[in-house]
Structure 1
Amino acid sequence: MLHPKLPPDFYRRPDPVQIARDLLGKHLFSCLNGELTGGRIVETEAYSHQGDLSMQLHLKRRGPHGRALHEPGGRAYLYQVYQRHTLFNISTNDADKPDTVLIRAIEPLVGLDIMLRRRGLETASAKLTAGPGLLTQALGVTPALSGTDLQGETLWIEDHAEQVPEADVLSSPRVGLAYAGEEAASLPWRFRIIGSPWTSKAK
């Protein structure tokens, strides 16, 4: 059964918090060197250009990796932290109102053997894709793909017609934002599917 890709209008809405919530249950895929991998999104975080000091660092990125933030929503915004882990973000809103959503965890469903090989693991566990740096390694995603249009055949997100009920969603503060001040660090813009073994650890 074929499933449609999320259209550009999905990403170009003005509320990144709603987009982050709506991405739960959608399916993220990569196809690199003929290897298809992907899974169900179970954890996200929203970042806004308004009232969110944690976003200011990102808005200063003017090199090739940060260019995706300054285009209409619907592109992969990828960068490294600690010179090691790639984070998979999606640009949202308009080019002059850059917001973003971080994909923090997926439930691996497609290309499991490929993901295990990339992660150097023998069996599937939460260590495979339960965390933003783990899922990008499993998907083979690097900052070289920053700016990739999510309507293409390299990275994309599909709608499998699943609506995650509000009762199954936990919202909480985002991770690692103490540097941005108490107000930004306390915003409940992290979303997880309750009971999923594939979400990253609570903070």
Structure 2
Amino acid sequence: MTIKGVNILPKEFFLKDDVTEIAQHLLGKIIVTQINDEYTTARIVETEAYDGTIDKACHAFPNKITRRTEVMFSEGGRSYVYLCYGIHHLFNIVTQVEGIPKAVLIRAVEPLEGKDIMKKRRKVNTDLQLTNGPGKAAQALGISTLHNDVILYQKNGIISIGCEMNNVNFEINVSTRIGVDYAGEDAKLPWRFYIKNNAYISKK
């Protein structure tokens, strides 16, 4: 399936066992949002992996189902959107088969289409400040907790994930995740991935 030159990823893409592999494969992919009749697209440039079966940094650790984390136990290919510090809406992509809580946080994106819409939503005029952080990215794309548990592999969905018809080559840098010091030893896991030298990453 395609949307304006973007091939929508099939459900199977999100069902692989290794969430760190999916987090890396999501780099370069395109987020398409069609929210309130406003169309925007952006390239994913920074991700973090979370595994609720073994990872103390994950909301669902240790396999803990709550009202907030329930969607993480769904079949992969759905959105998990939560409110951080009561201010920022953070957009995650649920992975794995049903019953195993894993997700990828979208930490930063590169704006492609609909920049004027993104600037209006963010109330900023500088391109580089539009989407260089997880809260900024979600806000620019119009994503909020209203869009929790949305299927991401439907062509006409309000949020879709796809790939460009022409491959984009890049190098991937790896680091520890940001803001997870509470996770003890798991804070040291090298589960943050970003496109090398991309201007829109949240931090080097």
**TM-score under structure 2 normalisation?**
0.91
**Residues 75, 191 of structure 1: alpha-carbon distance in 2 compared, 3 angstrom cutoff:** same
Structure 1, unmatched stretches of 5+, are: none
Kindly report which structure 2 residues correspond to 1:1-203, keeping only aligned pairs within 5 A, or say none. 2-57=5-60, 60=64, 62-63=66-67, 65-125=68-128, 127-152=129-154, 153-161=157-165, 162=167, 164-165=169-170, 168-181=171-184, 183-202=185-204
Note if contact 1:29-1:156 (Cα within 8 Å) is conserved in structure 2: yes
Note if contact 2:60-2:101 (Cα within 8 Å) is conserved in structure 1: no
Distance in structure 1 (CA, Å) of the matches to 2:199 and 2:117: 20
State the 1:62 CA deviation.
2.3
**TM-score under structure 1 normalisation?**
0.91
What SS does structure 1 have at the residue aligned with 2:99?
Answer: coil
Q: Quick one: which amino acid aligns to residue 112 of structure 1?
A: K
Structure 2, unmatched stretches of 5+, are: none
Query: What is the root-mean-square deviation in Å for CA atoms of aligned residues?
Result: 1.6
Distance in structure 1 (CA, Å) of the matches to 2:178 and 2:75: 26
Q: Deviations over 1:77-129 (max 9, x none)?
A: 0001100001100100011111100000110001000000011012322x100
Q: Structure 1 vs Structure 2: percent identity of aligned residues?
A: 40
Q: Which runs of 4+ in 1 moved over 4 A?
A: 56-59
Distance in structure 1 (CA, Å) of the matches to 2:132 and 2:186: 23
State the 1:52 CA deviation.
1.1
What SS does structure 2 have at the residue aligned with 1:53?
Answer: coil
Q: Deviations over 1:44-94 (max 9, x none)?
A: 00011233111255654522x433211100000000110000110010001
Give the count of matched residue pairs. 197
